[in-house]
Amino acid sequence: MGILLCPVCKSELNRNTRSFSCEKGHCFDIAKENYVNLLTGSKSGDLTGDNKDMARSRKAFLDKGYFSSLADALCKEISDIHPTTVLDICCGEGYYAEAVKSNCNTEVYGFDLSKEMIRLAAKRRCGAEFFVANMANIPIADGSIDCAIHLFAPFCEKEFLRVSKEGGYLISVCPGTKHLWEMKATLYEKPYENEKVSPTLPGFSLCRAFNASQYITLENTQDIEALFKMTPYYYHTSENDKAKLLSLGTLTTRVDFYIRIYRKD
Ligand SMILES: C[S@@+](CC[C@H](N)C(=O)[O-])C[C@H]1O[C@@H](n2cnc3c(N)ncnc32)[C@H](O)[C@@H]1O
Ligand SMILES: [Zn+2]
């Protein structure tokens, strides 16, 4: 049985040559890049998810390998779990989904609200299945996921719980307290550490939480700007402070990822 559900009537979706359809005749075309848009309603995901510029700049940055330590840590954890099915919730442009597909011998599904993110993810042709959807209403059957991953994205614990198998895992990653410390010290006179958050998730138990940290050196202003644009600071920093960072040709900064592994009770 497939795990994708029709977003309209919630019955099983089956793959045809150029579309997915359900028994009630709801039909969703497969785009030429090989993804399917399962958002209902007229709102384009790009109006609500990340926009085209953010998607392209994120892909260019991640493909240079600056966050490969996180991809490696994630793949190691997933390999230890031996899942059959991994779901990348809010997968963005697919960098981590591709790493998991290449290294972990599992089926991988990824979805995001942004159509451009999913278009770029699908263009990776990495063997993972990508679809556009809202995490508030994930078109995936109840109890069908062995391991869900969730990186730098908003939460919807009710849906995460519903799609997870009993005993299934949820790996959630957010910035650690010292993430991008040297970037922040360049921008601000008094940088603050990120708060350490470990939300309790009803229906899940926290098995383990740890940090994966390292220093990275950004080799040019373009990469510094791309990383800066991936952070909320970009939108809340004065032009004067921005100029301090963007006048640099190189920057060595700490990346600090806080990884939490939950298991469904
Ligand atoms: C900071 S990005 C992280 C992307 C990816 N996980 C990564 O680490 O590269 C957050 C992502 O969440 C997506 N997003 C935001 N709200 C969403 C929702 N309600 N449903 C699905 N995706 C959503 C955005 O479009 C964006 O791609
Ligand atoms: Zn249907």
68 and 3 in a common domain = no
- Write the pLDDT tens digit of every residue in 173-198: 999 999 999 999 999 999 999 998 87
| CB 108, CB 125: distance < 8 Å | no
In a domain, 64, yes or no: yes
Beta bridge partners of 217: 252
Q: In this structure, is residue 234 part of a structural domain?
A: no
**Does 129 contact ligand 1 (Cβ within 6 A)?**
no
Residues 69, 156: one domain? Answer: yes
80: domain CATH number is: 3.40.50.150
For residues 6 and 81, membership in a common domain is answered with no
45 lines ligand 1 (CB under 6 A): no
| Percent of the chain predicted with pLDDT > 90 | 88
Q: What is the pLDDT of residue 232?
A: 87
Same domain, 86 and 46: yes
Tokens describing residue 138: 């994930």
- Name the pLDDT band for 245 (thresholds 50, 70, 90): very high
Residue 240 lies in a domain: no
pLDDT (tens digit per residue) in 61-108: 999 999 999 999 999 999 999 999 999 999 999 999 999 999 999 999
**Portion of the chain with pLDDT greater than 70, in percent:** 96
Dihedrals phi, psi of 104, to nearest 5 degrees: -120, 5
**In 3D, which of 71, 263, 68 has the Cα closest to residue 171?**
263
Domain count of the fold of the chain: 2
Q: Are 130 and 21 found together in one domain? A: no
- Shared domain check, 127 and 25: no
Same domain, 65 and 163: yes
Give the ligand with the smallest distance to the CA of 27. Answer: 2
Ligand 1 atom nearest to CA at 62 = 9
Which residue is closest in CA terms to ligand 1's atom 10?
A: 153
Average pLDDT over residues 37-47: 70
Residue 57 beta carbon below 6 angstroms from any ligand 1 atom: no
Asked, for residue 187, whether it belongs to a domain, the answer is no
Q: Which residue puts its alpha carbon closest to atom 1 of ligand 1?
A: 152
Is there an atom of ligand 1 within 6 Å of 151 CB? yes
DSSP letter at 232 equals G
Strand ranges for the chain from DSSP E: 14-15, 19-21, 27-29, 35-37, 85-89, 107-112, 129-132, 145-151, 164-175, 204-218, 251-264
Identify whether residues 144 and 26 lie together within a single domain. no
The verdict on residue 185 lying in a domain is: no
Tell me: do 46 and 134 sit in the same domain.
yes
Q: Are residues 39 and 150 in the same domain?
A: yes
Q: What is the DSSP letter of 137?
A: G
Global pTM value: 0.95
Q: Residue 151 in contact with residue 96, Cβ under 8 Å?
A: yes
Residues 7 and 92 in one domain: no
Is the beta carbon of 113 within 6 A of some atom in ligand 1?
yes
Residue ranges making up the domain that contains 260: 34-179+194-213+256-264
> What are the structure tokens assigned to 223, written together?
């990469």
Q: Residue 34 and residue 118: Cα distance in Å, rounded? A: 10
State the average pLDDT over residues 229-234: 90
Residues 7-38: pLDDT tens digits? 999 999 999 999 999 999 999 999 999 999 99
Can you give the pLDDT at residue 159?
97
